[in-house]
C-alpha cells in the first residue's frame, strides 16, 4: 500500500496537471471507486462539471484535489490506485475507472485501480481539509507538525511501538515499510512498549521515520509491488535503500545477522535479531 512518500510523489505530479484547470466532464467507468459518494456516480459527475481545481493537497496517505468552490475531491489510493495523466485519445488503461476531461486540450487525468480498494469522493467544504479525514494527525512533512507533541502522544499509548507508528491518529503517513525501516535505524523492536519509551527515544524513532520517508521521496518512493507508479507511469527507486523490509534472510547491513520476517497484524515485520532484540517491556 502506498505510504506518505508515494502519495506525495503523486500529489506533486498531479499539481502540474490539475491546478487551475476547469473540469469539462467526468466519466465514471466503474461505480466501485466512487462508492463512498453515497448520492451515486451521476451526482458525483454532475457536481464536478465546470468546477476548477486548485493545488492538490495531502495529509498522511490521503490526497485531495481542492476546488475553487471550497469543496474537494478526496482520494485514497488503497492498494493499487494510480493517477495517470494522458493525452486526449490515448488508449484506455485496462483498469481505468474514472476519467477527468478538461476544457482545454492539455490532456486528461485518469484514476486507474486494479483491485479497487481505493477511490474518490466529493467532500463538501473540504478544500482546506476534508472533514472525513480531520481526525488524522499531521504528518512529519506538514509545516505545522509538532514533533514534541507527536513524541508525547506516542508515549501516552499503551501498545507496541510499531502499532503506534501505524496509528494514523498519533502521526500520519507511516505504513509497514517505513515503520520497519525506521525501527531498524533506531535499533528498536516493533513490540517495544510505547509507555516504556524515554522522551529522547520517542523523538528519535519519529525523526528516523521522517528521515527515511524524506529519502524515499527524494528517489520517487518505493515500487514495492509494481502497482505503484507516478502520474507518468514510472516507478520509484527506494527499494534499493531498504535495509530490512522485504529482506528476509539477507544480512543486516550493520552486523551481518540474517534479517527475520515475523507475522504482525496479518502482515509481516522485518527486523534484525541482533540490533533489534526483544525488549524487556514488550506489548504484542
Ligand atoms: Zn543488525
Domain identity same for 212 and 125: no
Q: What residues are designated binding site for DNA?
A: 95, 115, 157
Domain boundary among the residues 133, 158, 189 is at: 133
pLDDT band at residue 225 under the 50/70/90 scheme: low
Q: How far apart are CA 249 and CA 257, in angstroms?
A: 8
Mean pLDDT value of segment 155-176? 97
Residues with a known catalytic role:
2-3, 61, 267
Q: Residue 279 C-alpha to ligand 1 middle, in angstroms?
A: 15
Q: What are phi and psi of 247, to 5 degrees?
A: -110, 25
Q: Which domain holds residue 44?
A: 4-133
What would the pLDDT profile of 104-123 be if each residue is shown by its tens digit? 988 999 999 999 998 999 99
Q: Residue 1 C-alpha to ligand 1 middle, in angstroms?
A: 26
Q: What residues are designated binding site?
A: 95, 115, 157
| Closest of 206, 220, 108, 94 to residue 149, by C-alpha | 206
What would the pLDDT profile of 126-163 be if each residue is shown by its tens digit? 999 999 999 999 999 999 999 999 999 999 999 999 99
What would the pLDDT profile of 48-59 be if each residue is shown by its tens digit? 999 999 999 999
Residue 141 lies in a domain: no
Task: Work out how many domains the chain is built from and give that number.
Answer: 2
Q: Residue 183 C-alpha to ligand 1 middle, in angstroms?
A: 11
Q: Residue 275 C-alpha to ligand 1 middle, in angstroms?
A: 4
What is the pLDDT at residue 18? Answer: 96
Domain boundary among the residues 101, 133, 165 is at: 133
Q: How far apart are CA 76 and CA 113, in angstroms?
A: 11
pLDDT band at residue 208 under the 50/70/90 scheme: very high
pLDDT band at residue 101 under the 50/70/90 scheme: very high
Domain identity same for 166 and 250: yes
Domain identity same for 34 and 73: yes
Residue 139 lies in a domain: no
Percent of the chain with pLDDT over 90: 88
Q: At what angle do helices 199-218 and 4-18 cross, to 10 degrees?
A: 50
Spell out where the chain has E strands.
23-28, 57-59, 62-66, 72-76, 81-86, 96-102, 108-113, 119-123, 260-264, 267-271
Domain identity same for 151 and 263: yes
Percent of the chain with pLDDT over 70: 99
CA 30: distance to chain centroid? 23
pLDDT band at residue 168 under the 50/70/90 scheme: very high
Q: How far apart are CA 46 and CA 69, in angstroms?
A: 14
pLDDT band at residue 273 under the 50/70/90 scheme: very high
CATH number where 210 lies: 1.10.8.50
Amino acid at each position: 500500500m502506498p505510504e506518505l512518500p508515494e502519495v506525495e510523489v503523486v500529489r506533486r505530479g498531479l499539481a502540474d496537471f490539475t491546478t487551475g484547470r476547469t473540469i469539462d466532464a467526468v466519466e465514471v467507468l466503474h461505480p466501485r471507486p466512487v462508492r463512498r459518494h453515497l448520492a451515486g456516480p451521476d451526482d458525483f459527475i454532475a457536481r464536478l462539471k465546470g468546477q476548477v481545481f486548485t493545488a492538490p493537497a495531502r495529509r498522511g496517505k490521503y490526497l485531495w484535489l481542492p476546488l475553487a468552490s471550497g469543496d474537494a475531491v478526496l482520494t485514497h489510493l488503497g492498494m493499487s490506485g494510480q493517477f495517470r495523466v494522458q493525452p486526449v485519445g490515448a488508449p484506455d488503461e485496462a483498469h481505468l475507472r474514472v476519467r477527468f476531461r478538461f476544457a482545454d486540450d492539455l490532456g486528461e487525468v485518469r484514476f486507474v485501480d486494479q483491485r479497487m480498494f481505493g477511490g474518490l469522493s466529493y467532500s463538501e467544504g473540504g478544500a482546506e481539509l476534508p472533514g472525513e479525514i480531520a481526525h488524522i494527525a499531521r504528518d512529519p512533512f506538514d509545516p505545522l507538525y509538532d514533533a514534541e507533541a507527536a513524541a508525547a502522544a506516542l508515549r501516552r499509548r499503551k501498545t507496541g511501538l510499531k502499532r503506534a507508528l501505524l496509528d494514523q491518529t498519533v502521526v500520519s503517513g507511516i505504513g509497514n515499510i517505513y515503520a520497519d525501516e525506521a525501527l531498524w535505524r533506531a535499533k528498536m523492536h516493533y513490540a517495544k512498549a510505547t509507555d516504556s519509551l524515554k522522551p529522547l527515544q520517542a523523538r528519535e524513532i519519529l525523526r528516523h521515520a521522517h528521515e527515511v520517508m524524506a529519502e524515499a521521496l527524494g528517489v520517487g518512493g518505493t515500487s514495492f509491488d509494481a502497482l505503484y507508479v507516478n502520474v507518468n507511469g514510472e516507478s520509484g527507486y527506494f527499494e534499493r535503500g531498504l535495509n530490512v523490509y522485504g529482506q528476509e534472510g539477507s544480512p543486516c547491513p550493520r552486523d551481518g545477522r540474517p534479517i527475520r520476517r515475523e507475522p504482525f497484524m496479518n502482515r509481516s515485520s522485518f527486523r534484525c535479531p541482533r540490533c533489534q532484540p526483544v525488549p524487556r517491556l514488550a506489548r504484542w
